[in-house]
């Protein structure tokens, strides 16, 4: 009997020690599932559903939980909430965080340990309970329980839109260019470049592979594709002009690290904007966190006598990772005398010219860490050339 009493009392003692009401939010478009665990209640978690986006209903439920805990224990407890990073972004976290009595957390769902069974049960109910248990362990200070998201400021989040919108527009431009070339290739026409300014004039001069004029409906479709392509080109120019204006304003005020990156030879406005807005606008404690955020950290597999590398984790920011790999290739061209370029050449030479792709990823990781040290501590990359002022 004493054993049973100890087991039931332990979780309640932990909850009273942590001095809070713990809630998890499972967010979807139609409904929000609120799972809660309160001091003085039974070990069973309570659940309540509100309409998706119903902030008033959410606060009504939280007030009810606080009132019931007050009636049971005579104390008014603060609330600690958790929800997964997803389509809702950060607006709900900012709304909850405005209240002095609410402590809000956003967790990276991929960092939470789950059952490794081949067919594990997954429901919103189970996920809500898992989030509560994860939050309890996190607040107790257990290491490596999960990875909480560091929420950017609304200004930094808004600035990201410039680089991300440009990436979407460039991808759409490539799609339309390839579609135009594919339509012409089916007619035996090669060498037409839709990106040129005289695209429409050259289209009128084209003849099929067997000497005919372009078919009427095919030509009409090509003209519509050109119209969409021209619209995308204009929108890309507008986004790039907005990006350059922001960089020029920061350069004049000497307030942002992006202007420091622009001073390095080989780094233009696009790379400077992406590296700053996607990475260096955040705070990092050490170089390992920088590499991990970009998904460029190593992922070893060790078990008993087995010890092998699986390559980079690819668990971080994909836009930043892509930009850094591209920049690594350009770095070799524009900064051949830098210490990192020499390291790359010696490593490739040691491997007899093989494994360049693997080594360039390692160079990208070293470059990102070097940029972080440069904008944070002022440590310039050894041998790096600076643009003439």
CA–CA distance, 49 with 61 (Å, rounded to integer) = 9
pLDDT band at residue 253, thresholds of 50, 70 and 90? low
pLDDT band at residue 175, thresholds of 50, 70 and 90? very high
CA–CA distance, 260 with 281 (Å, rounded to integer) = 13
Residue 25: what are its φ and ψ, rounded to 5°?
-120, 120
pLDDT band at residue 254, thresholds of 50, 70 and 90? low
CATH number of 2-140: 3.30.420.40
pLDDT band at residue 315, thresholds of 50, 70 and 90? confident
Which pTM was predicted? 0.84
CA–CA distance, 270 with 205 (Å, rounded to integer) = 36
Residue 365 has pLDDT above 50, yes or no: yes
CA–CA distance, 221 with 202 (Å, rounded to integer) = 16
Residue 290 has pLDDT above 50, yes or no: yes
Query: Which tokens go with 339?
Result: 């210490």
CA–CA distance, 144 with 284 (Å, rounded to integer) = 17
Q: What's the pLDDT score for residue 5?
A: 39
For 54-105, what is each residue's pLDDT tens digit? 999 999 999 999 999 999 989 999 999 999 999 999 999 999 999 999 999 9
- Burial of 148-180, coded b for 16+ CB within 10 Å and e otherwise, reads bbebeeeeebebbebbebbbebeebbeebbebb
Residue 65: C-alpha distances to residues 6, 39, 69, 308 (Å): 26, 10, 6, 50
Report which DSSP code applies to 148: B
Relative to beta strand 31-37, strand 20-27 is antiparallel
Residue located via tokens 């309640």: 12
Mean pLDDT value across residues 200-210:
94
Q: What is the dihedral of CA 197, 202, 203, 208, to 10 degrees?
A: -150
Query: Which tokens go with 216?
Result: 């009427």
Work out whether the CA dihedral 235, 241, 242, 247 comes out positive or negative: positive
Residue 37: what are its φ and ψ, rounded to 5°?
-140, 115
Q: What's the pLDDT score for residue 44?
A: 83
- Burial of 297-314, coded b for 16+ CB within 10 Å and e otherwise, reads beeeeeeeeeeeeeebee
Our measurement of the distance from residue 47's CA atom to the centroid of its chain's CA atoms, rounded to an integer in Å, reads: 31
Instruction: For Cα atoms 319, 335, 329, give the angle at the middle one, nearest 5 degrees.
Output: 40
Mean pLDDT value across residues 285-291:
93
Q: What's the pLDDT score for residue 305?
A: 87
Q: What's the pLDDT score for residue 206?
A: 94
Mean pLDDT of the chain: 90
pLDDT band at residue 198, thresholds of 50, 70 and 90? very high
Contact 32, 58 (CB under 8 A): yes
Domain ranges of the chain: 2-140, 154-253, 257-377
For 264-282, what is each residue's pLDDT tens digit? 999 999 999 999 999 998 8
Residue 362 has pLDDT above 80, yes or no: yes
Relative to beta strand 306-312, strand 298-303 is antiparallel
């Amino acid at each position: 009997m004493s054993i049973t009493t100890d087991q039931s009392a332990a979780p309640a003692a932990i909850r009273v020690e942590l001095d809070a009401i713990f809630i998890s939010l499972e967010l979807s478009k139609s409904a929000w599932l609120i799972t809660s665990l309160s001091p003085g209640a039974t070990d069973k978690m309570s659940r309540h559903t509100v309409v998706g986006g119903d902030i008033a209903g959410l606060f009504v439920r939280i007030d009810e939980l606080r009132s019931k805990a007050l009636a049971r224990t005579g104390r008014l407890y603060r609330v600690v909430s958790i929800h997964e990073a997803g389509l809702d972004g950060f607006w709900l976290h900012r709304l909850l965080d405005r209240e002095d009595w609410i402590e809000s957390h956003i967790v990276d769902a991929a960092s939470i340990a789950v059952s490794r069974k081949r067919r594990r049960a997954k429901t919103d109910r189970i996920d809500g309970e898992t989030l509560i248990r994860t939050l309890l362990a996190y607040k107790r200070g257990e290491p490596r329980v999960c990875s909480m998201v560091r929420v950017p400021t609304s200004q930094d989040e808004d600035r990201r839109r410039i680089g991300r919108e440009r990436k979407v527009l460039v991808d759409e431009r490539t799609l339309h260019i390839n579609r135009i070339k594919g339509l012409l290739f089916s007619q035996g026409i090669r060498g037409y470049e839709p990106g040129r300014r005289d695209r429409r004039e050259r289209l009128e001069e084209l003849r099929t592979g067997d000497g005919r004029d372009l078919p009427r409906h095919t030509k009409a479709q090509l003209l519509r594709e050109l119209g969409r392509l021209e619209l995308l080109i204009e929108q890309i120019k507008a986004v790039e002009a907005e990006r350059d204006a922001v960089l020029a304003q920061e350069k004049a005020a000497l307030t942002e690290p992006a202007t420091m990156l622009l001073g390095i030879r080989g780094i233009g406005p696009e790379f400077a904007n992406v590296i700053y807005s996607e990475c260096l606008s955040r705070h990092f404690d050490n170089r390992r966190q920088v590499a991990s955020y970009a998904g460029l950290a190593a992922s070893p597999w060790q078990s008993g006598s087995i010890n092998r590398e699986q390559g980079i984790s690819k668990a971080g920011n994909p836009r930043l990772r892509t930009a850094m790999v591209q920049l690594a290739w350009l770095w070799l061209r524009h900064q051949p005398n830098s210490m990192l370029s020499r390291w790359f050449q010696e490593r490739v030479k040691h491997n007899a010219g093989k494994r360049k792709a693997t080594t360039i990823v390692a160079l990208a990781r070293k470059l990102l860490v070097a940029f972080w040290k440069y904008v944070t501590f002022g440590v310039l990359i050894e041998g790096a050339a600076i643009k003439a002022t």
